[in-house]
Structures are given as C-alpha cells and as structure tokens.
Structure 1
Amino acid sequence: MTVFTPGATPSEAPSRLNSFYFTAWRWHFYAGLYVVPFLLMLAVTGALMVWFTAIDSEYGDRIAVTPTAQAQSVSAQIAAAEAAHPGSHADKYIAPRDAETPAIVRVQEGETARMLAVDPYSAAVLADRTETGTWNEWLTNLHGELLWGGNGGPGDTLVEIAASLGVMMLTSGLYLAWPRGGKSWRAVLVPDLAAKGRSFWKSLHLSSGVWAALFLGFFLLTGMSWTGVWGGKIVQPWSSFPAAKWDAVPLSDATHAAMNHTAQEEVPWVLELTPLPASGSQAGVQLLPMGTPVTFETVMAGARALGFDARVQVSAPADKTGVWTLSRDSQSYDSPNPTTDRTVHIDQYTGRILADVRYDDYPLMGKMMAVGIALHEGQLGLWSVALNLAICATLALSTIAGVVLWWKRRPTGAGRLAAPPRVPEAPLWKGGLVVAALVALAFPLGGAVIVAVLLLDALVLRHVPALKRVLS
C-alpha cells in the first residue's frame, strides 16, 4: 500500500527505511500478483449478484400485483402453475413477500425445473422461466468456482487460495499503511485529490485500501465458508447443527444440502451437512389434525399456525421417506433478519412435526455465519445493499490504483517485475513470521502455496539468475 519515498532509488531506500517495512512490502507485492485479479473479479461479480438478488429478481417475485378482497387458495395457485405446463407437478410453493407481490411455484417438467410467478388473487401466471440458467446462478458460479469444476473443483481451489493469500495481503497492507514518520491518520484515510502523478495513485491506493480492509477480512472469511477445504473440511463440519438434538426421530441418509438445486445456496449454511429426518414413524409432535390430508394447502395452513408470516417456503417430500419442509431464512432472501431463521420438517404421512430448528438452536459459529452470510450477500435491507455496493466499488478502486501505481513505479524497459527490494542481511522479523505462520496454519491452501513458493525460491530461483531477475 505504499512506494519508495520520492527521489529514493532501490539501492538507497533499504538503507534509510525500516527493513521490516520492506519485508512487509515484498509480501504484499507478491501476494498481490496472484490475489489482485481475483479481488477485481469478486468485487464486480459480487456487486452484480447483489443487484440480481436484491433489486432485479429473475423469478418475478417482485412483480407488483393488485390486491383484492379474497386471495385464491394455495391449491388453486399451484394448479394454475401446473396447468401452464401440462404433465408437470409442483414440488415447492413460496408464499408472497407481502400483499402486493406474487407467489412462486416450482414445477418439475421432466428433467427441467421451472419457477412460475403466480398472482395470488387471480391465479394468473405472471412470469415463467427455468430455475437454472439465471444470470445470478452464472455469476454465483463465477464468483465462487470460476465456472470450473464445481465445489471442491479446480476453480474453487484457486479462489480459496486467493482468499487465503488475501488475508496475508490484508495484514501486510495494514502494517504498511499505519501512520509513521509524522504522517497523520487523515493522510491515511482521506485521499489527496490534489496530488499529481504517482503521488496521487499512491494516496488513492492507500486510502481506498484501508477503507476496503475494514470489511475485506470479514468478506473473505464468510465467502470461504463454502470453499472445498477451509469451509467444507474444517469449519462447516464442526459448526453444523447436531441432528442428535432431534430426540427419537428417524434420520434419512440424505442431508439438507440435497435441498439445494442450483449454485445459489438456499439451505442455511449451518444445516447443509445435517441429516434430514425421515417420514414413516409416529415420532414428533402433532401439527395437523389426525386424518387431515398432508398437502400444500394444509401444510401452508400449518405454517401460519406455527407463526410463519409473509414469505415462507414449502417444499414437498422428495421421495417416500422424505418430509415436508417449511423454511424461512435470510439466505433464501425470505427475511432481512437472520435471527428469525426457522426450518420445520413434517412427516408426510402423519402431519407430525419431526424437527423445528430456529436461530437460537444454532451453535455459536452457526449463528455468526447466519448473520455474516446475510451481510455478505446484502440481505439485511437496502442499507446492506448500499454497503455491499460501496465496499465492492472501494475494493475495485484500491486494486486498480495499486496496479497503476506499480506500472508507474517500475523502471522503463527493465524486463522484470520491479518487486520491492530485498534488504541485505535484514534481521529476522519474528512478529511478521508469527503472523505468516498463523495465516498458513489457519488457511491450509494458502499455507501450502506459501511453503511451495519458499521451496521454489530456495531450490530453483536462486540458482537460475535470469529467472530470478525477471521475478525481482
């Protein structure tokens, strides 16, 4: 986040400045070589995803409808959706957000799932499209997996490495930005718009980088919750809701993750690895009166009786042992308040409640992730949408300013990267080494890359002068 002092040459600067500063600068620079393209991609795709989820819904659930005295029954709304595609069957009903927006019905037509927006008052179909193939799904795949290999695949791994090294770049950048030599915090936090040339880009990179850093660590950690190694192998398994809390309830071999049908993770993160309960026993607490048919209509009535208001999702059983599921959570854009998350499973034969999971039942990490993911995705209302867009813009500005700054600093025609100089015989920086070790241990893929780079430097680069010069 900084450069040489004006007039200093690479040979003079190390003798006049703190050697730790130059060590941090080198870490920042080399981490940035890999991380910067990813940060730009994440900032742009993140901003677009916020647009498509919070402002321009692709399924039509924000189309305005005119309320009348009497709404159509849930059964009538579902029948209208199925009639639009003869031979199809509905497997999900999403109640309207409010009195002036439509319901959403998902129907299965052969191998294709379609999402239909239905006017709850007239049962007219207002919008109709496939569940997959949306811009938001495409952006989600690019944002997290580079459209390459799915979760745990090559793209996911590259993004996780970038996020891990991003933590290293973040910590080194904050060290570099810390006011020293009589500099005030104002010079750090407010860009000098009157500066010219390299000084302007330095000030812009410094200030925008510090502001972005206030949120970047949080965004990197919450984003990595879905990655293949840090999220899938380390954090999520020991943070998941324990199915053992469901006393004497038969469990399915399927987990809640089976309820995710697109790249847009809809099942609460804390429940994804938790087994689903199974229908076919007398377990649970009676919800629907004995003998009542368990249908979309009656289950939706049961949802209202349980206190679910406004938008709630009703999912039909997937097979003969599956369950009806009621869900309302911010991750599915049902509510701007993650602390009201609730998932209820109902036996398809008896109408009995097999499981009722609320935010208060989540383990501590699950609660933190429920709130963190909602903030990460701009689901807490318009203020969080505005905050997310501002962070994405600031992050993009900082990375672009950093690239321009490097371009202006590099010697013309040098034929090398023009990395910050190594300080000859610099003392061991114990504090920096501890931070690097902690990052490497906390984020295994990032740690593996750091070790690999150190080995490459020791075994190859030092012995190939031409290559060493290009990378210096």
Structure 2
Amino acid sequence: MNHTLRRLFWRIHFWAGLISAPIVVFAALTGLLYALSPQIEARLYADLDQVTVPANGTAPKPLDQQVAAATADHPHEALRYVVPAHTATDSTQVYLQAAHAHHQTKGEHDHGLPTGSIVYVNPYTAQVLGQLPELQRFKTWSKKLHSSALQGDGWRWLIELGASWMLVLFATGLALWWPKPQAQGGPGWRAFWPRRGVSKRLTWRDLHASIAIALGLVTFTVLVTGLTWAQHSGDNFRAAQQALGQGTPKAPQGLRSQPLAGSSPLSWQEIHDRVRAQSPDIALQLTPPNGVDGLWRAENFDRSQPGKRFASLVDAYSGQTLFRSGWDQLPALSKATAVGIPFHRGEFGWWNQVLLILTALAAVFSVVSGLMMWWHRRPRGGLAAPQVNRQTLRQLPPRTWWWLLPLAGALSLALPVFGWSLALFTGIEGLRLWRAS
C-alpha cells in the first residue's frame, strides 16, 4: 500500500475507533445478553411457557375456549394475536394490548417499545397460567436494550452510527494489517500469529489484528444484517429490495372476506386447523380479522427455521386461502436476509450462540487492545493521532480519489447516519487543515 494512503487510512481508523468504541462495547455486551436469552428465559419462565401433559390422554380444549379464558381474565385489553401451543408441552400465548393504547397508536408499539402483555393459557384446561408485560420478557427487554438502549425508535440511530463506523474500522484495519508475501520480504501467513519477544505495543497490535481477523466473517455478517433492519439504512435497504424486485411478496390490494348469507365467521379452532393443514410444521401466529370483511392473517411465529417461513391471508367465512407466500416464493436477496437476521439473533442453536458470544467478546477486546496500543505509543501530553496534512493529501495518487470519493458517497447514501457523521468529520478535518495553513 502507498505510504501516503496508509497514513490516511490510519487517521480514518483512529477517528472510526473514537466514534464507535463506546457504542461497540455497549452493543457487544447487550448483544451478549440477547444471545444468552434462550437459556435465561428457560429458567425464568418455565412455569408460563411449559405445561404438564395429562397422563390420561386428555385432548387440548378448543382454541376458542383458550382465547376466551385469556380475554375474560383481562377484559380491558384488546386482542392482538394468538400463538397456539405447538408441541404437547407448550402453553398457548395470547398477546393483548391496552384498549386505549391500541386505539391511540394504531399498532402494537409505542415509539418502538412494546406496551402490550402476554397471557399464558394451559391448552388442556383452558386455565390462565399468568400474565407478563411483553417488555418484561427477558428476550424482548434485551433486544430493545441492544437496539435502542430502551429509549425507543428515537435512539436507534446510535447503534446504526456505531455499526456503520465499525464497518469502516474493519475495512481500514484490514487494509493496514494486510501483510506482504514472504517472497517479497514480508511475513506472509505468519502475520496471523502474534509475535513473541517484541514491544508491548506490537504485542497488543498483533493480538488486536489476529483476533479481529479470526472472527472477521462473523463480525461482518452481524454488522451487515444489523444494518438491514436499522432505522435509516434499513429503509434504504428495503427500498432497494423493492426496486430490484427482491422484496418479500405482498398480497394484492383490496382482498376482503366475503360474508356468506346466513353463515357466521369460522371459529379460532376451524381457522387454526385449516392453516395447520396447509402450513409447515412450525409454531403459528394467528391474527384475527379487523372488521366484518377483514381477513385472518397466519404466519410463522418461530423465526429460527427460514425454510418453513410463510404468511397467508384467509377468508373469515369460507376458510379459503386468498394469498400465500413461503420460502419458495422469496427472491434470492430476501432469502439471504431471512437467513442472516436469525443468525444475527443467535436463533440457529448453540453453535450460533457460541459464535456470537465469541464475536461480542472479540469486539470488546478490539476496543481494549486499541486503547492499549494508543496508550503505549502516545507522547506525553499529546493525543497521538496519526498526522495528515495538506501535503499528505496532495501526495495521494489521483487514481486513489477516483475510487475513494465514489465509495464514500455510495456508503453515505446507503447508510445515512454514516453520511451525516462523515460530513461532520470531514468538516472538522477541513477546519483543522485550514487553521494549520
């Protein structure tokens, strides 16, 4: 790499570290909590999530009876959707929303934080096991802590800022580390192993690079998948999906249930049985119709099996499926997202959790080791920031600007929070160079 470009990358790497380090530590530690949520929830909510199967072979009560028990126990809350018991030991989960909140927000969230509750019902007895505010479920709480510091959608930009600059940090760090081949006098593959018997700063640098690169692919996947559902970059990603014809298939406009003369709507149990017969073997989420001509919506509640993903709209009177979309109907980019997001959440089992835990610990170590590298090289009383002046910029080959500026512009458009912060960073650097001249 050109020496001048290396110095520019070093300064960008330094700035990216200053911007993202505290956010990275926060995101890594809260992500670590979220990755452990299956084991934590299994201990906290076993009495709500699981039931004992009757020894006498008693069949579950009709789903209508289970839903009625939940709504009767909480008459001042509006019904949102139901997750029927999937396995023999599962409870039925009925999701409710305070009636006034449902009317005011026209949705299940208030500024990005769940305000509803979950009622747990024993499917064999139709007795209510208990109720829990949705935000008090550890998985939901840790997810919102990780994505918005429990401050709602207004703070989601903060994690987006850290993830954006973490990509820059990773790319510039990789470029700075990239070793020369042994044939050209460089370390070659030996650069992957930390050196012994060198200065403390070099030891920290080797560890900093080796651990980051060892988990680089997982780190990159986590960053990219996180940005695809972030607030601003996620909107851009979904717009690009639609423009490329890679978005999730959507139902045609104007679909309605057709009330039949002299007939009444189908029951919860009848809808459940029809959907169950046509759907993959996975936990369902059933949302009742909104109004007389509304449609039932059925989809997979379990997100850990992308191949069984589906969504369907069902006529409330005839039970006819008016729209259905499954894994086979998803375009390639949507399939990649459907796999990447559950991976980001650690939903593919223990191996996925282990990878995420190691990646979170590696991210924290990168911040600590970067701080130690700076500490060992800093001059007394100085900041020790890599210096770049106007002469340095003039020495950059013209071809460098031909790819560097378009790349920065493209990233700024795709990641708006990064673009705003890059404009601020560039302005500060420009002011510094102007004062120095």
TM range (shorter): 0.7 to 0.9
**CA shift at 1:65, angstroms?**
2.4
Residue 221 of structure 1 pairs with residue 236 of structure 2 = no
CA contact (8 A) 2:85 2:93 kept: yes
Aligned to 2:123: 120
Runs of 5+ consecutive residues of structure 2 not aligned to the other structure: 101-114
Specify the alignment match of 2:410 in structure 1: 441
Q: 1:229 to 1:59 in 2, by over 3 A?
A: same
Equivalent residue in structure 1 for 2:342, among 352, 374, 387: 374
CA shift for structure 1 position 369: 0.8
- Determine the structure 2 residue equivalent to 1:66: 52
Task: Classify 1:366/1:198 alpha carbon distance in 2 versus 1 (closer, same or farther; 3 Å).
Answer: same
Cα deviations by residue, 1:224-262 (Å, 9 ceiling, x for unpaired): 112333221x2202425999xxxxxxxxxxxxxxxxxxx
Distance 1:386-1:99 versus aligned 2 partners, 3 A rule: farther
Give the distance between the partners of 2:79 and 2:66, measured in 1 at CA. Answer: 10
Is residue 170 from structure 1 mapped to residue 170 from structure 2 by the alignment?
yes
User: 2:27–2:159: 8 Å Cα contact kept in structure 1?
Assistant: no
- Whether 1:110 aligns to 2:99 is yes
Q: 1:384 to 1:212 in 2, by over 3 A?
A: same
User: Which letter maps to 2:160?
Assistant: E
Contact 2:295/2:313 (8 A) holds in 1: yes
**Under a length normalisation based on structure 2, what TM-score does the superposition of the two structures give?**
0.81
1:76 aligned residue (40, 61, 65): 65
Residue equivalent to 1:182: 186
Q: Quick one: which of 254, 266, 274 aligns to 1:302?
A: 274
Is 1:384 aligned to 2:352, yes or no? yes
Identity %: 27
What residue number does 1:156 align with? 156
- What is aligned with 1:336? 304
Q: 1:380 to 1:240 in 2, by over 3 A?
A: farther
Partner of 1:122, secondary structure, is: coil
> Does residue 419 of the first structure (1) align with residue 396 of the second (2)?
no
Which amino acid counterpart does residue 105 of structure 1 have in structure 2? V
Q: Unaligned regions of 5+ residues in structure 1, if any?
A: 1-16, 244-268
The one-letter code matched in structure 2 to 1:456 is: I
Corresponding letter in the other structure for 2:384: A
Structure 2 match to 1:210: 213
Measure how far apart 1:118 and its partner are.
Answer: 2.1
Deviation string 1:401-432 (CA, Å, 9 cap, x unpaired) is 11222122212222xx2112337544337357
Asked if 1 retains the 8 angstrom alpha-carbon contact of 2:83 and 2:285, the reply is: yes
**Equivalents in 1 of 2:24, 2:409: separation in Å?**
20
Query: 1:277: Cα distance to partner?
Result: 5.7
Which letter maps to 2:29? V
Q: CA deviation at 1:120?
A: 2.1
Deviation at 1:199, TM superposition (A): 3.2
Structure 2 equivalent of residue 251 of structure 1: none
Q: Cα deviation per residue 1:192-217 (whole Å; 9 max; x = unaligned)?
A: 58767333322221112212322222
Q: Which residue of 1 aligns with 2:322?
A: 354
Over residues 249-283 of structure 1, what are the superposed CA-to-partner deviations in whole Å (9 max), with x where a residue is unaligned?
A: xxxxxxxxxxxxxxxxxxxx947x8777642448x
Q: How many residues align?
A: 407
